[in-house]
Amino acid sequence: MFYLTRRIPITIQPFTRRLSTTSQEAYLEPSTIPGVTCLVLNKPKTYNAISRLMLRNIRESLEAVRQDPSTRLLILRSASPRMFCAGADLAERRSMTPRDVHLFLSTGRETLGVLEELECPTIAAIDGPALGGGLELALVCDFRIARNEAKNIGLPETALGIIPGFGGTQRLARLLGITKAKELVFTARKMSAREAHAYGVVDHLSEAGQTGYERSLLLAEEIVKNAPLALQAAKRSISRSPELSLSSGLDFERACYEPLLGSKDRLEGLEAFKEGRRPVYKGE
């Protein structure tokens, strides 16, 4: 059993029963690549604007992924083409009381924290606008891959009299450096995918005629062929590096390395190398 904000108990159904459900604003479905699961945003009428229900669906989906050892990589994408996430649902926001807004921000921060802390690698497939909370969702992923024709990527909150509230100021500064982060937030600039790539907000662009999701699958395929436990250990070690001194970071790397020595996957890797075949990793 897991808990959402305000510690309301929820029961997570098995992953096989939590695939595509059109009544949900976010849901899980398998990709065409074994081991790669998609977290799909499904609110096309508002360009996947983030509502309270969507946050709840995202959180439930993430908890299901945490319990599912078959998921070796997660892709965050839109159910509809040429979309990603247009930020908070402003129509819903207008009806919120100050207490509602406080709870919404707390829930969003916690939910993005769960996504950021997933053990498996994560990719945001940006096929359309990624504004405000939408870009903040993408920033917690390990990689951001955009359709080369996508537009409206940015944090425009200062133009609305607020600032990013799901961690955007902190994560953007850590990603780009303080000066570039200040420029993008102060100006409320909305970038094209190519501009976002030049800034370093986006890691890869799709080829002409290719979607961001299709480009994401290519990177996912390169990643999931490797040992799941090693990927998890590598993510844990690299993610902690900015907050540690080099000496402490080296010690932490060693602490992440040591448990792998007794894994079945390590032995499989050695045997596969000896036999000249591709290893079959099971995450054990």
Same domain flag for 201 and 244: no
% the chain with pLDDT above 70: 92
CA distance 184 to 172: 9
- 155-192 confidence digits (pLDDT tens): 999 999 999 999 999 999 999 999 999 999 999 999 99
pLDDT surpassing 70 at residue 281: yes
Give mean pLDDT, residues 114-125.
97
Quote the pLDDT of residue 218.
97
Reference 201, options 222, 228, 224, 174; nearest CA is 174
Quote the pLDDT of residue 22.
57
Contact 102, 52 (CB under 8 A): no
Quote the pLDDT of residue 270.
84
pLDDT surpassing 90 at residue 17: no
Same domain flag for 80 and 209: yes
Quote the pLDDT of residue 15.
41
Same domain flag for 43 and 111: yes
Same domain flag for 112 and 212: yes
- Selecting among 125, 136, 154, 233, the annotated active-site residue is 136
Structure token pair of residue 94: 């207008």
- 196-234 confidence digits (pLDDT tens): 999 999 999 999 999 999 999 999 999 999 999 999 999
- 230-257 confidence digits (pLDDT tens): 999 999 999 999 999 999 999 999 999 9
Same domain flag for 133 and 183: yes
CA distance 193 to 96: 32
| Residue that is written with structure tokens 């508002």 in the block | 46
Catalytic annotation present for 136? yes
CA distance 60 to 249: 33
- 55-106 confidence digits (pLDDT tens): 999 999 999 999 999 999 999 999 999 999 999 888 888 888 999 999 999 9
Same domain flag for 252 and 125: no
Structural domain boundaries, residue 252: 228-275
- Selecting among 35, 157, 168, 220, the annotated active-site residue is 157
Residue of higher predicted confidence among 265 and 137:
137
CATH code of the domain containing 243: 1.10.12
Same domain flag for 258 and 139: no
Reference 148, options 132, 123, 127; nearest CA is 127
Quote the pLDDT of residue 18.
45
- Domain boundary (206, 224, 242) is at 224
Quote the pLDDT of residue 83.
95
Quote the pLDDT of residue 8.
29
Catalytic annotation present for 87? no
Catalytic annotation present for 92? no
Lowest mean pLDDT among 13-17, 46-50, 135-139, 252-256: 13-17
Same domain flag for 253 and 126: no
- Selecting among 133, 134, 165, 167, the annotated active-site residue is 133
CA atoms within 13 A of residue 181's CA, in its CB half-sphere: 16
- Selecting among 49, 64, 79, 88, the annotated active-site residue is 88
